[in-house]
Chains A and B, each alone.
Chain A
Amino acid sequence: MAPEDLARLQFGLTVASHYLLVTLTLGLVALVAVAHTRWARTGDPALRRMTTYWGTLYVINYAVGIATGLAMEFQLSANWTGLESTAASVFGAPLAVETVVSFFAESTFLALWIFGFDRLPKYVHLACIWIVAAAAYTSAVWALLANGFMQNPVAYTMRDGHLELTSFGALFANANSWIAIFHIFGGALAVGGFFVLGVSLLLHRRGRADRAFVRHSLKAGAHAGTWGAALVVLSGTVQLGNTRKDQPLKGAVLDGNQAEVTRQLQELAKRFGPLEGPPSGPVLGALTLMMMIGGVLLILGVWALVSLREQRPQAFPPPYAQPYPGQGHPGQWQPTPAPARGQGQGGRKVYPGQWPPGQGPHGPTGQGRRVYPGQWPQGRAPGPQGQYGQYGPYGQPSRPGPYARPGPHAQVYAHAHVGRTPSGEGEVMRSAVLRRVLPFAMALPFLANLCGWAVREVGRQPFVITGILTTRQAMTPGLGAGRLTASLLVLVVLVVCLLGLDWWLLARAAMRGPGEGGLGRGAEPAAASTASAAAPDSLGSGLAGAAHDPRVDPRTHPRAPQASPYGDRSTGAAASPASPASSASAASSREGAHPS
């Protein structure tokens, strides 16, 4: 292979690995920030588990992403000095700001966030993860400002072979960059969303996660996946049109217009000598595959959202649906006799099992105040009630509210969920097809991102900076094939090892489930160490030190619930031997006890 091809192969492999890591980082950090916000506002322990669990996976992925970033930085200074010497000011400025502003802030506040579990004030801690998320996304913005310049150079003058930046504002306002920025934000969200969907379903299947956690995660994942896919498809459409305008050569390749490609290459040959255009077949193939995946993801995402909807019980039973008590089939509306007047006065107990997970008597648990299972919030006891509790006589709730409100109806809702709705002991997601498909669909957004990268970067050939600097000119002068082969071997081994290591670690940490290890556990009293100040800190325990505990058998683990404290019917189901869900749950604990 020619030196140029070797250098390109090396850089391509490194960037592809880096990009795979970075999209997941970007996708996950947004979900972690949202989960943390909801946890901070509601105090729901399931949301805390969600924050720490996805946060741990995010941190692992982040740490490996830095390493591949270093490998990239090395190649830029070793193999591509032609680019640096020509475009250092235009290309280097955004990248420098990226490292200093975004990366530094991201690392520092991430360290603060990991440290801050149970240590920092609640909202300071929350601010940390939002700063991390903002820094991560601005980091992508800076990198793409540099990349957008390479696709569509603006705001520069050429002075004796060096590009000079004329206006930072114009560099910032490059439309090519911004379309790509939104395209990649969408792609990253889709990666994170489908990753969360797939992993949650796997955890659920293996019985490694509680129901409330799985439900919260699935919902967040489905939203991120769907809106991410929608953003990708939208911005991708705009980008395709813009490419024809900014980069006619790439546009012609994407249109499959071979005659136009040849004509343009002949034009360019007058200025740069003989050039080779981008390989039409692969680029076009990648574009087609990416578009198909985009469509599939959009469908899967919307389907997942629909499949996750709670089936809200009707406020008032339609007359035809009122069999005598006990005669309806499971899932059908079953009215129960209302308690006598006065029974519902203050302090009435609501038993576990009467609320959908995460829902209290007044909407989501603890919004505004904490609602403990089995208790009415003070001053909110249901008043005297008539035949239909708080509902008016015409089947309209007397107070509008998103979720079923109890009255004497609580019993009714419990029945209404049985077997039919996701919040009962039925499946966490209604569609069986989706439950099978989504764990595999995790791979699709990664693949689509790689395809998109190939279309953008391979499609830019033969230029590094469109119309200014060809790939051959961008290389370090006098770089031999021998030295390149050596560094290619070293780096490919290194980068592939890192990527493999990352995925292995992620899989291990992920399949451990949200119940054990993870961030913030170091602060628990059980972890107190002999050394005074050295109670292993969060990073030390969650990532470096602990998580050393041998895997705990969920059946004998002291934290494994015998009776769930918050209205989760899963344990109730497990108690009844006839229920099919109980045998499934028993099977999953067996599986949990003997991990593969």
Chain B
Amino acid sequence: MDELDGMVRESLRARADDVEATPALWREVRRRRDRRRRARAATVSLAAAAAVALAAVAVPPLVRTVRSEAPEVLLAPPADPARPTEEAPGPADVSWRAVATDGASLFLLEDGGAAERFLELPEAGESTIVALAVRPGSTADDLTVAWLAHAEGAYDLRWTTLQAGAAHTGRFADTGHDVANREPGGSTPSPVWSPDGREVAWVEDAPDGTPTLRAVGWGADGPGTGGSGSVEAALAGLDHAERPRAVSWTWSERDAEQARGTVHVSHDDPGAIRDAAVEVARSPSGGLEITGQQLVASTLARASEQAGEAAADYLLEATPDGGLRLWWTGPGGEGGGEVTPPDLLGEGLDDGPAWLAASGERILAGSGRRAWLLDRSGAAAPLEGEVVHADFVD
């Protein structure tokens, strides 16, 4: 132990030894606990209904991995498309499919509880997958997933395609599109796709620390190969220390080549009001530009879904009494509604930054290493096993 180690230890202990809690702390703990009890009581009937309507969606043991040509991943054959879908209770009894990660692998997850792993990070690499986004238009047999890994204080943006059983993984850095983020205390470059999959965007830190929205075109061969242009612009009003991250992208106006829409950027502190709505436009030449920005009220988590020409938004927020509210606007702003899900805050929904993914009337919500399947009735079913992040396959 060198001298500085000892000084740090001594300083911390000397400072901490002088600290005592106020008598009000226990009262405050009880008050917050009571608030959670009230929220839970208010939702218990819905939770009971959910328990009847929904069985837990199991993530079964993952299977069959074989080494791929890529040195960094182990690949497995994808799910057998001929395998019959298991009967499983779920919202609206319609099958769904998602790509999920437990931090160490990517796997296809289906409503019957079936899961097939198609990518596994090597243990020696000590990388962790922290976010993913499925390219719009993907299917189980023709799938593209952009995903974000974190290791040794740096982020690494990659993508994996899964076509006819063959998986291929590429790194954005190898195409000249490496992310600038180097410290985990800064912006989080979680990928988000444009609704037609022609661009992928993320938030990164400029050299002076300014959070910057960056988007690159996407063609058949990965980032930078499509006809769409790129955009890189500072996000006004956001601080990189808030760890901003892109969470959704929708078009509000669109024709064959031109489009105008919004990229939403959230951050890790749900108590503040610094989420940004970044207006972007695609020109006839394929270039992208930022046409406006505004700060909006923050929520726990946000997702959007583009349904043809119109987009639907889903938001999850904590209510003042400690409860939870899921609300949405339907495509074109019509057909909105709200429900009170079960006490997911008490279950740990706020263990870390929360996330949402939406497809039709289904919503995946998660935080930390837990996730739930929600629907517009307020029912919620936990995904058994560890799920760090997930996104629906169209």
Q: Is the A/B pair a real complex? A: no
Q: Residues on B close to A: CB < 8 A?
A: none
